[in-house]
Amino acid sequence: AQVGVVIVGAGPAGLVLGNLLLDRGIDCVILERRDRAAVEGRARAGFLAPRAVRILTGNGLAAGLLARGQTHTACLFRSDRGEFTLDYGKLGPGEPHTVYPQQELVRDLIDAYLRRGGRIRFGVEAEEITDGRVRVRGGTDVTGRYVAGCDGHRGIGRATLTAHGTRTARWDHGVSWLAVLAAAPPSLPATGYALHERGFAGHMARTASVTRYYLQCPRGTDPADWSEDRIWTELATRMRTAEFGPLREGAVLEKARVDLRSDVLESLGTGRLWLAGDAAGLISPSAAKGANLAVVQAESLARALAEALAHGDEAPLARHAGACLPRIWHAHEFSQWMSTLLHGPDGDDDTARYGRALQYARLESLRTLRSHQDFFAENYTGI
């Protein structure tokens, strides 16, 4: 039997989409390669923009994040020129972030989806998508009027579109981060960005007992070479603890290398296959936009699919893509801006010195110019 929409992938994009489709009375099924514990245990992003929070709240998906999330309204920057705090909650549109670990959001979304009577099949891997038919490894095909590829940037949804000629625009930032998750309370009252000649270091709150840190590292770095001691020593140097006070250390729960890359597909879908989230575009984590873009796109795609199914007409899907792509590019433009603020060039030749001087000029205008601060606040919290 054919369902309305087959959703491939149970990340934030697929789960928001599934919930919103059920609310509109659309029959759907989610296929997820991993088992439920694996999906619910993946610690990733944690900063929700006001627009994503409004979408989740407006659709009855925010009870957990409203109860347990923390409101963040400030970030601070450190360098050899000192430290300053930007109260972005009082600048630009004056809006906060909600800090809520992504795996908790995913857990809430799965619960909500099942409570709405939704079907989700864990441990089921999509292998091929042809028209509305999804071939499943070792199982029976699942067919939908539409297929939503919410299976991340290495998924079959993206591969199917690109195999049929959809092109990609891509940027490699040329830097990597060692992403560390520590069993430690936050060390700073705000998100911290440290510029250092040894490379960027970042501090991002997650919960009262878990904190995310980032250390810029060379491409190809093996996380196994980074012992706990080495991580804390390097963080202390780059975050200038001698000057600004110690970090609250704890056991390292996870460490992984993230290569900063960004890409966007030139189209979000065609015919019966439509993508959302990382499948449609990967964004470097420098401005914490990935999960937020996934939520915003899923909401827009849900509306478009509902209309397309109701009227037997694909025009709403084309309109959805036309509205989403500029938003995606806007987020990329700011992420790129953040990336050049946080990462100075390597080396000590004339070009590297020029790049580093610009990096500090940008930091200085962020410290002193109200118009830059407003620009930052609007883009940092906006989607």
Q: Is 11 in the site for ligand APR (CB under 6 A)?
A: yes
Look up residue 193 and give its two tokens: 């960005």
Q: Which of 3, 5, 7, 9 binds ligand APR (CB under 6 A)?
A: 9
18 contacts 30 by C-beta, under 8 angstroms: yes
Q: Annotated catalytic residue: which of 88, 113, 146, 193?
A: 193
- Which secondary-structure segment (H or E) carries 89? none
Please say which residue, 8 or 231, places its beta carbon nearer to ligand APR.
8
Strands annotated E in the chain: 3-8, 28-32, 47-48, 70-72, 75-79, 82-86, 97-99, 119-122, 126-130, 133-136, 142-149, 168-183, 191-194, 201-205, 211-217, 251-265, 269-270, 273-275, 281-282
350 contacts 66 by C-beta, under 8 angstroms: no
Q: Annotated catalytic residue: which of 72, 196, 320, 332?
A: 72
Q: Is 155 in the site for ligand APR (CB under 6 A)?
A: yes
Q: Is 34 in the site for ligand APR (CB under 6 A)?
A: yes
DSSP 8-state assignment for residue 219: T
Least distance to ligand APR from the beta carbon of 240, Å?
29
Q: Is 181 in the site for ligand APR (CB under 6 A)?
A: no
The answer to whether 113 is a known catalytic residue is no
What's the distance, CA 144 to chain centroid? Answer: 28
Strands 251-265 and 269-270 come out as: unpaired
Q: Which of 290, 316, 344, 382 binds ligand APR (CB under 6 A)?
A: 290
The answer to whether 146 is a known catalytic residue is no
The answer to whether 380 is a known catalytic residue is yes
Q: Annotated catalytic residue: which of 97, 196, 203, 289?
A: 289
The answer to whether 90 is a known catalytic residue is no
Q: Is 252 in the site for ligand APR (CB under 6 A)?
A: no
Q: Annotated catalytic residue: which of 12, 186, 285, 316?
A: 285
Active-site positions?
A: 72, 193, 285, 289, 380
Judged by the rule CB under 6 A, the positions of this chain that interact with ligand APR are 8-14, 31-34, 39, 44-45, 102, 125-126, 150-152, 155-156, 277-279, 290-291, 294
